[in-house]
Every structure is written in structure tokens, then in C-alpha cells.
Amino acid sequence: MYRRILAVAGAALLAGAAVLVASTSASAANILSNPGLESGTLSPWSCSGNLGSVVTTPVHSGSRALQGAASAADNAKCTQTVAVQANTAYTLTAWVRGGSGYVYLGVTGGNQVWNPSAASNWVQLSVAYTTGASQTSLQIFVQGWYGTGTYYADDFSLDGPGGNPSPSPTTSAPPGVPGTPGTPSVTGTTASSISLSWSASSGTVTGYRVYEGTTVRATVTGTTATISGLGACASHTYTVAAYNNSGESAKSGATTGSTTGCTSTGAMAAPYYYNGWGSPPSITTVMSATGIKQFTMAFMLSGGGCTPAWDSSRPLTGGVDQQTINAVRAAGGDVEISFGGWSGNKLGPNCSSATALAAAYQQVISAYNLKYIDIDIENTDEFENEAVQDRILGALKIVKANNPGIKTIVTFGTSTTGPTYYGTRLINQAAALGANIDVFTIMPFDFGGGADMYNNTVNAANGLKNALKTAFGWTDAQAYAHLGISGMNGYSDQSEITTTAIWTNIRNWANTNHIARLAFWSVNRDRGCAGGGVQESCSGIAQSDWAFTSITAGFTG
């Protein structure tokens, strides 16, 4: 099994609307407010970056429609949150056009669809969603795509029963609650603070509460706030709610900001080690010979359904993989565990929801008391499956909330100039969902790198840096501090050759720019076999044993 990745040049187009499951409830109805924007105002819609507006042309029906002015830095995501019933099927529809065909309709935490033929014509999009066992509200959204221009949407419908009436007057929502504030924007950052601003709520407002998850971080009377006392180079996701004597509004859309002061700790010099093939070497011998302290252990897959197992066949604990991890830790090192890879039966497609996938990740985290997890998202079953991408990001968001201090990594393929369509989508969705990913790692091999693997790797890494800046509003230093490189030592599947000299130059560039992670595939292959081509247990080139690992051990971030 080789850890391969194909550079994808374009999107796989979803040519039509999804087949829907209609609600079985006899009380189905459109429960959205202002579904055709005929009120002439956005309320209760909330649009990121204040980029939403109501227009009179073009419209699908009636006299008004929603316009989203997507820019290079903001996808103009517009949301509405409604009360729903648990364990109930809903159908979301809307008519969209413009945005170069990149107009998305979906349910936050659920599926989304798009249709490229909507570039110049009105096209109806549809999404089916079934609420969870205790779910009482859901958020629907429409959005454009970064840099693809203005989109339009009209005649929204969320078909299904509204939320159950409250059991008593004491728990019913009182009248006079303010409208939902606009999604906040990050207006400034320091090494210990993030400043926010947002558009005012409608109605009578006493003040605003700034939330991080369910915790109130600030209470203010105006429409700006600064959250202080934060750690350097840390990401935080905030929402805002307005309140008065009648109660509190729905929360705004979420925004993510990061403090400055980014420097890499060097803790993520972590080449991949695999017990599945390639004559796995003694890991303590490698540590002693090279000084390496961290490894990325591959691969955690599905042992059947949503149950994790090493390579789908070895037990989660008690086997050779646990013995390897115990040996690394006994020698003063630590491990990242990598989920996924190019082939095999993976957890992402097998787990039915973000919550279920997060629970599978948690089994592994708890079994090994992990400080890092790496989601190696590849191939058409995960990387090129937008629903699975979103499921993985949703699961990692849950993992971060439940495991303070854990570092989450996503690893994916690239082109020679940076992320492909699916890589860019993964980054932008991570920002939109507030997934709080710590490190985005590209794999610059099997990507058309040819004979110039150093410059093509650097170009790809700088393309990733620029994509992170666009998605998160980061500086160069902040973006580099969230960036990783995972190469392939020696011969790749496309006969690209990374020599020890090239890898040394890549390592030096990584240190100069203070990136977060440096890895390669794999320690098993870190042995010489000149002229050997692609092998499981050697690099295919002339080298001393463990040379690439020794070079990687010099990564300081």
C-alpha cells in the first residue's frame, strides 16, 4: 500500500439536485421566515461580512431576492436558524443563480449541494436532512464561493413541522426579543487579544453577549468587543447574541480569529511509521540513531462500520501498534496517529455523522491519551467527497471542544502551485465551520513535481500559505505557523526523486519560515537501495540508513 495522491485539476460537478426524502409529518409546511425576501429587509437572515442585501432584480418570483456579494476573502454566507422537531425529516429548497455557478445550499452540520448550470439561469437546489434525537433547532445556509462573484437566491423553503410548543408559559419564548445580530468580523488582533465588530440587531437592545461555544467571553452595550487574555498564535471562534428584558436573540453566524505571536515549537517533526508492510524497523533503533522524538503512526481505519482499528485488521490496543507507541514513549518521544490514507476502508465514509465520527476519533484519543491526531484525507471516498469532508471537519470541531489542548492536523494532496479545488474547499470549509484545525499539511509528491522537487515543493507550500491567508485573514507568519509539509523520500510513484540534499533544503526552508510540521512517507523506506525505484522498505536511491529521519530531526519550526 502506497500513500499516493492524485493532483486534481477541477471539481467533480454535481449536475443536479439531490433526491429527497419527504417529511412523513402531516404538519409539513415552510417554516422559514422571509423566505422570498419580500419584506424588503434581510431579517432574520444574517450574512457574513455584511455582504448580503435585498435586490429587485434579478428575481425568481415576486419582487425581491437575496444577493450575496462574494469576494476573494468572504463567501457571503447567509444563514437563518429555525426551531424544529427531533427525529424528523425536512426538505430544504431554494432557487439560485450567478456566482459563476458556485452557489451552495445546505444545512449547517448536514449536507450541501450546488449546481454549476446555475451560472446564468435560475436553478432549484434541494437538500434532505433528518434532525437528531434531541435537536430543537437547525441552521440553513446559502453561500457563494471565494472570488467567483455575486450570487442570487430566492424562494427558500424548509418543508417540515416547526418546533414543538413549549410545555408551559414559563418556558415559552417571550415577545420583544431582539433580532439576530450580524455575523461578527475580526477587526484587529494582538498576541493576547482579538477585536470584533458586528452589525446591530433589530428591535430594542440592552446589550450584546459574545460567545465562544456556550461560554460568554464579553458583554457590551455597543457593537464592538475585544476579547483579551488569550494565548499567542491561537484560533478562537465567536458568535454574538443580543439581549433585553424580554430575553436573548438567536446567535449570529460564527467567525474565527487568531492571535499573533506565532512561532512553531518544533514538536511536529514527525515522519510516518507503518506496521503494515515494509519490514518495519526497530523504532528505538531509529530514535537512537537520529535523535527523532516524534512519529506519525499509520493508519487508523474502520474495523467495521464506525469502529476504529489499525489497518482495519489489527486491534486498537494490545497489538504491535501499541507496543510501538509504548516503546516511543518509553524512549522519551511521542506519536501522532494518522487516520485514513490513500486506500483501505476508512472511518469518514463509514460513520454516519460528525458526532459518530468524533466518537470514533475519541476512542483512539482516549486509548492512547493523544496530544495530536492527523487526518490524512485522500482519494474520492474522503477528499473528493464534499459530504465526507464536512463530516470530518465537523468531527474535528467536536474533538477540539472535548479535548482542550489537542492539536488537530489535516493532510491532503496538492498541485505544484498549491491546493487544488478540493484542497481549497477543505480549507474554506474549515474556516466557515469554525473547525479550529491547527495544521494544514500538504503532500508535495505525485503532483507533477518532476526534476525540481525543491522549488515545486516551496511553490506548493506558498500556495497553501496564501489559501490560508485568504480563508482566515491571517498574516504570512500566522499562515506559516499553521502549515505543514509531508514529502516522500527517494522515489515517488510518479518517479519524482527527492534526494537527501533536496530534503535538507526543504527542511531549511521550513525552519526559516517557521512552519508547524515536517513529515515524510516513510521511515520504513528510509534505507538505501540505489536504482530500486519505488519500494516499501527502501527509498530507491543511494543513501545511508535513516538519513531522511536525521534531516527531519533537525526541524525546529
Residues that are catalytic: 378
Q: Is 394 helix (H, G, I), strand (E, B) or coil?
A: helix
Strand intervals (E) in 268-354: 272-274, 294-302, 308-310, 334-341
How many residues would you count in the chain? 557
505 class by beta-carbon count within 10 Å (0-12 exposed, 13-18 middle, 19+ buried): middle
Q: Where are the beta strands (DSSP E) in 84-221?
A: 89-98, 104-107, 112-114, 123-130, 137-143, 150-160, 185-189, 194-197, 207-212, 215-220
Closest of 359, 281, 355, 277 to residue 310, by C-alpha? 277
* Sheet arrangement for strand 194-197: 185-189, 194-197, 224-227
- The closest of 218, 257, 254, 219 to 236, measured between CA atoms, is 257
For residue 259, the tally of other CB atoms under 10 A from its CB is 20
For residue 361, how many C-alpha atoms fall within 13 Å in the half-sphere facing its CB?
35
Q: Give CA–CA dist 66/152, Å, rounded.
A: 6
Distance between CA 26 and CA 14 in Å, rounded? 31
Beta pairing, strands 490-491 & 497-498: antiparallel
Distance, CA of 509 to CA of 505 (rounded, Å):
6
Q: Are 150 and 101 in contact (CB under 8 A)?
A: no
d(CA 78, CA 52): 7
Helices (H) and strands (E) in the chain, counts: 10, 30
Angle made by CA atoms 376, 378, 380, in degrees to the nearest 5 = 150
Decide: 48 and 134 in contact? Cβ < 8 Å. Answer: no
Q: Quick check: 307 and 315 in contact, CB under 8 A?
A: no
Q: Give dist(CA 539, CA 551) in Å, integer.
A: 15
Cis peptide before 44 (omega within 30 of 0): yes
3-state secondary structure of 57: coil
Angstrom distance (rounded) from CA 446 to CA 496: 7
Would you call 353 exposed, middle or buried from its count of C-beta atoms within 10 A (0-12, 13-18, 19+)?
A: middle
Q: How many CB atoms lie within 10 A of CB 81?
A: 18
How many Cβ atoms from other residues are within 10 Å of residue 330's Cβ? 9
